[in-house]
Amino acid sequence: MRVAITGASGRMGQTLIDSVAGRAGVELAGLTDTPGSPWYGRTVAGLPVSDDAAAAFAAAHVAVDFTVPAATRAHAELAATHATALVVGTTGLDAQDQAAISAAAAHVPVVQAANFSLGVNLLAALVQQAAERLGTDWDIEILEMHHRHKVDAPSGTALALGAAAARGRGGDLDTLRAGPRDGITGPREPGQIGFAALRGGDVAGEHSVIFAGTKERLELTHKATDRAIFAEGALHAALWAAEPGRAPGLYSMADVLGIG
């Protein structure tokens, strides 16, 4: 299986390269990044790191994309053009970005997730179940912490957990999400789903979903100690998406893991 990796110089790009090197039956087909990035123009794992994403996609069975929204839009179009399966881990996407991904999914298999770890995806299923069973007198708050370099907040994983909680309550996150809290905000409104984001150090990712009731509290937590788990999960998703006969469509990690 031939895999292209976009954003090769990034944290996830580097970890993905290491994961491919350790996986039998998988080889790198292309590495891309933007001019000025740390590895641009260098040879890594026997391949040049260039900005020729079209060539990388054309040479690959599947591409793995952990970049920025504008790049992801372009990569989605390339995936459709070259019939290359796609795995998307980019976060901070808006409606236009999502539309481009959905358009590509009409032509090729696309696996999109905010988090590719098995533990987090199981956590989302548990959060939905808990939200289904606990009434709105149980307040839901989601706390996440990441390394100092992360640029978006709340994290994509935190938002995905919030969406799972909202589904459990028969609603959608856009409606139930609490606004930012700063200053005199007034009391908490019943049924809202709140978020808090912490940034510092080299934290790979920690997420807690807190169900706060009267006289008791339930907390569901996942802590990542090595971002290699995300790369391994993304590579697992890539191999799944690129299997012969996989129908075009927009898939989640729940589909990949069979826990949906």
Residues annotated as catalytic are: 146, 150
- The first and second tokens of residue 70, run together, are 């504008």
Tokens 């589904």 identify what position? 167
Cα atoms in the Cβ-side hemisphere of radius 13 Å centred on 255:
17
**CA-atom Rg of the chain in angstroms:** 19
Q: Prior bond to 244 cis, omega within 30? A: no
CA–CA separation, 51 and 35 (whole Å): 7
What three-state secondary structure class fits 188? Answer: coil
CB 79 within 8 A of CB 104: yes
Question: Going by C-beta distance under 8 Å and a sequence separation of 6 or more, which residues neighbour residue 13?
Answer: 5, 6, 7, 31, 33, 66
